[in-house]
Structure 1
Amino acid sequence: MKIRWRLRMAAAQREVWTGTELRRLLAEKAGLEMSSASVSALFTKEPSQVKMSTLAALCTALECTPNDLIEVDTTPVERPATPPRLVADTSQAVVAGRGRSMPPL
């Protein structure tokens, strides 16, 4: 499963072009004070995790839903077919006289 962070696109659709503008909106509309560095990181990078409260504040500030901010690719992952397991033929080892025997039945 692949997840794509679409904050910049959602912000651009609402004519928010910079992290500074987003930071101001978060404070004014959602009451969330974030550092410039944190807003910049959200705006320019794909985060590995986002707090639910931050996600809710982003949705409030941008007047959008989480679906506008996060795209999830639910295409099933194809796994390679497992090669068949090879079964050793132990009867030849006994015949060849190498001292090996068959396990008890």
Structure 2
Amino acid sequence: MKWNLRLAAAHREIWKASELQRLLAEHGLVISAGKMSGLWSSTPASIKLSDLEVICVALGCEIAEIMTPEPENVTRTTSERSPATKAVGQAGPPAAVVPRSRGGRSLPPR
């Protein structure tokens, strides 16, 4: 996902992180200066949906204006599936379950 918070804010004449921080506080989202700086200057690793909703309401925008999908950056797995991810009902013998020793513990009686 591409994070466009600064661009969305700029479209509303908000040029500083502190201005947006005050606007968010008016809408009930109090953010520390450090967290605001992170949201303003880089793509967050995660964000609460409730926080994202307040940001959208405060800016009067849709989520698509703040976050843009980038499907070309998604890593695709090969079409070959490993035995553990075979679909239910797919042909092939079921894998045998074999208990393993855990750090020196003995196995339960059979």
TM-score by length of 2: 0.64
- Give the deviation of 1:78 after TM superposition: 8.5
When Rg is computed on C-alpha atoms for both structures, the one with the higher figure is: 1
Q: Structure 1 residues 74 and 20, CA, compared in 2 at 3 Å: closer, same or farther?
A: same
Distance 2:74 2:19 in 1: 38
Partner of 2:2, secondary structure, is strand
Residue 31 (structure 1) aligns with: 28
- Give the deviation of 1:14 after TM superposition: 0.5
Distance 2:74 2:57 in 1: 34
Residues 1:10 and 2:30 aligned together:
no
Tell me the percent identity: 40
Residue 47 (structure 1) aligns with: 44
Is there any run of 5+ residues in structure 2 with no aligned partner, and where?
79-110
Q: 1:65 aligns with which of 62, 67, 71?
A: 62
Q: What is the aligned length?
A: 79
TM-score by length of 1: 0.67
Distance 1:31 1:58 in 2: 10
Q: 2:19 aligns with which of 13, 18, 21?
A: 21
AA matched with 2:15: W
Residue 93 (structure 2) aligns with: none
1:41-70 CA distance string (max 9 Å, x none) = 100011111110110011011010110100
AA matched with 1:12: A
AA matched with 2:6: R
- Give the deviation of 1:76 after TM superposition: 8.5
Q: Structure 1 residues 78 and 21, CA, compared in 2 at 3 Å: closer, same or farther?
A: closer
